[in-house]
């Protein structure tokens, strides 16, 4: 598989994770605990595949410089900075949320999940936004990636 495919694959994985997070939230609000559990585990697996794909991309491909000028540049780097910081923070948050659920500590699960869910959503959606701005709206005019 060509490395050029990875940014698009990553954005697709982010989109799938976002949809699963939404479905998982709706399910638990409807009291469907088993379905919530299955969908959240699926979201974790999709995000795990994303992480492997992302690290592979960063290992083999150069980091692209954003081509936009003016206010959009400030917006892009603010978005990117918040995305990166929260993407790092979300890993232990997800692990703690799932750990508490698996141990049957559902009060603790709910307490931490109230933070995990919105932060995870933000990371997924901002990841898609960064992709759209970097690769679709202001693409680098070079051969290769």
Can residue 33 be called a binding residue for ligand HEM (CB under 6 A)? yes
Stretch that binds ligand HEM, among 57-65, 68-76, 78-86, 111-119 (CB under 6 A): 111-119
Can residue 17 be called a binding residue for ligand HEM (CB under 6 A)? no
d(CA 12, CA 6) in angstroms, rounded, equals: 10
Whichever of 54 and 120 has its CB closer to ligand HEM, that residue is 120
d(CA 94, CA 83) in angstroms, rounded, equals: 16
Can residue 94 be called a binding residue for ligand HEM (CB under 6 A)? yes
Q: Scan for tokens 């994770």, then name that residue.
A: 17
| Residue length of the chain | 145
Q: Is 51 helix (H, G, I), strand (E, B) or coil?
A: helix
d(CA 2, CA 12) in angstroms, rounded, equals: 16
d(CA 124, CA 33) in angstroms, rounded, equals: 23
Can residue 101 be called a binding residue for ligand HEM (CB under 6 A)? yes
Whichever of 29 and 59 has its CB closer to ligand HEM, that residue is 29
User: Least distance to ligand HEM from the beta carbon of 33, Å?
Assistant: 4
Binding site for ligand HEM (CB under 6 A): 25, 28-29, 33, 36-37, 40-41, 94, 97-98, 101-102, 106, 109-110, 113-114, 116-117, 120
């Amino acid at each position: 598989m060509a490395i050029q495919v990875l940014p698009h694959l990553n954005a697709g994985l982010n989109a799938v994770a976002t949809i699963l997070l939404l479905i998982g939230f709706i399910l638990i609000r409807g009291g469907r605990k088993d379905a919530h559990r299955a969908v959240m585990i699926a979201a974790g697996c999709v995000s795990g595949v994303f992480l492997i794909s992302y690290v592979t991309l960063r290992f083999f491909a150069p980091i692209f410089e954003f081509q936009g000028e003016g206010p959009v540049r400030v917006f892009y780097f603010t978005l990117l900075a918040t995305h990166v910081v929260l993407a790092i923070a979300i890993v232990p948050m997800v692990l703690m949320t799932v750990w508490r659920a698996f141990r049957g500590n559902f009060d603790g699960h709910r307490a931490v999940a109230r933070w995990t869910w919105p932060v995870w959503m933000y990371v997924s959606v901002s990841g898609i936004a960064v992709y759209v701005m970097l690769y679709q709206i202001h693409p680098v005019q070079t051969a290769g990636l």
